[in-house]
Amino acid sequence: MIVVGGGAIGLNVALELASRGCEVQLLDRGTIGDSASRVAAGILPPANLQSATDPIDQLRGLSHGLFPSLAERLANLSSIDIGLRRCGGYYLGTTPGEIAVMTGMVQYWENLNIQCERVSIDHLRKREPRICPWFAKQSDSNDTAAWWVPDEYQIRTPDYLRALQIACQKTGVAIGEHTAVDRLRTTKTGAAVSCENRWFEADRVVLCGGSWSGLLSPELRLERSLIPIRGQILVLKTDHPLLRSIVNVGNRYVLCRDDGHTIIGSCEEETGFVCETTDGMIDALHRFAVGMLPELESAMVVERCAGLRPLTFDGFPMIGKVPDISNVYIAAGHYRSGIHLSPATAVCLADVMMGQTPQVDLEPFRVGKQQFAS
């Protein structure tokens, strides 16, 4: 089988198929794991498979449950610890709009039996003393509310991708980097993709090209199904981590890894396929983080980066067989949750490809239903 695209989705799909005994070749036009997946903060918000009714929440719940065993397996195969940690998350609303959104979210989590508790300023102050000055200032306005969500996890995304790559290699996946797929065709016995007129054939092809998946071939008729939404991240470094938990404020967040790296994100920008950082946004993220944690003022800037999240119009990723084209499958469009959803996507897609019934019904993720009207 051929998997096109070596982000979190393609790597997981390749590993899952190889683990089930398939011969797998993974092709990427650049270096493995160097696209949107590398930029991702690595936040795994709470989820509960047992109580989830929404299809995305079911996929999220399945992934949530798979992560601990996947982390262990990756550590065994690659000797890399991906930093999976149940660090918990604080969710703050600092404006009436943010509080309203969080109130709805909290109600939704309660329906799913996901633990979420409204907490006082004192609670937050005790647990995260370094954010006090910022928080005290905000609370003066009486417009701030905070919730504590213990079942939020973090992983170190670059380590996750490296571990997946090594695990793939150890499981027999042949990896071809700098191989940009530019055509696709079906053959008598399967399907084939080409890179500058060099054809790669297999019994089946799985397309995992992230935001670019719809552009892989006009035959797919998916050009208008995926919209790239840019997100930017700032990475700072301090001697010690300044927070124990992830702090989410509206659509921004600060996350500290154990090694002192602080990840600050993010934003949602429609810039087509332009994937660069901008001074204005990086400055805004820096101001936001320093406002919360004044010690970050003097922290070293390690990296500023941007990635394109693949968005579909109904918010559901497409996972399954491409209609009307034999032996071609796709897994793309995971938007803000591609890291979190990657293990369950791979397991369910592999089930479908092997003729088994997946644990989560993939009908809501049917390929083609995400087509935009022209």
Where on the chain is the footprint of ligand FAD (CB under 6 A)? Answer: 4-10, 27-30, 35-37, 39-43, 180-181, 208-212, 216, 231, 233, 265-266, 307, 309-310, 332, 334-340
Q: How far apart are alpha carbons 27 and 47 in whole angstroms? A: 32
Q: How far is the CB of 283 from ligand FAD (least distance, A)?
A: 16
Name which of 4 and 362 has its Cβ closer to ligand FAD. 4
Relative orientation angle of helices 55-78 and 342-353, to the nearest 10 degrees: 100
Q: How far is the CB of 95 from ligand FAD (least distance, A)?
A: 22
Name which of 6 and 89 has its Cβ closer to ligand FAD. 6
Helix residue spans in 91-223 (DSSP H): 96-111, 121-127, 132-139, 157-170
Name which of 40 and 167 has its Cβ closer to ligand FAD. 40
Structure tokens at 28: 């990427």
Q: How far is the CB of 133 from ligand FAD (least distance, A)?
A: 26
Name which of 16 and 28 has its Cβ closer to ligand FAD. 28
- The per-residue DSSP string of 65-77 comes to HHHHHHHHHHHHH
Q: How far is the CB of 266 from ligand FAD (least distance, A)?
A: 4
Round to the nearest angstrom and report the end-to-end CA distance of the chain: 33
Q: How far is the CB of 293 from ligand FAD (least distance, A)?
A: 19
Region for 84 from its dihedrals, namely left if φ exceeds 0, alpha if ψ lies in -120 to 50, beta otherwise: beta
Q: How far is the CB of 200 from ligand FAD (least distance, A)?
A: 11
Name which of 10 and 358 has its Cβ closer to ligand FAD. 10
Name which of 138 and 243 has its Cβ closer to ligand FAD. 243
Instruction: Report whether 325 contacts 217 (CB < 8 A).
Output: no
Relative orientation angle of helices 8-19 and 157-170, to the nearest 10 degrees: 30
Q: Cα 29–31–34 angle (5° rounding)? A: 105
**Residue 373 Cα to chain centre, angstroms:** 27
Q: How far is the CB of 53 from ligand FAD (least distance, A)?
A: 21
Structure tokens at 60: 């999220």
Instruction: Report whether 143 contacts 72 (CB < 8 A).
Output: no
Name which of 49 and 138 has its Cβ closer to ligand FAD. 49
Name which of 138 and 202 has its Cβ closer to ligand FAD. 202
Q: Classify 206 as helix, strand or coil.
A: strand
Instruction: Report whether 297 contacts 290 (CB < 8 A).
Output: yes
Q: How far is the CB of 122 from ligand FAD (least distance, A)?
A: 29
Residue type, 292: M
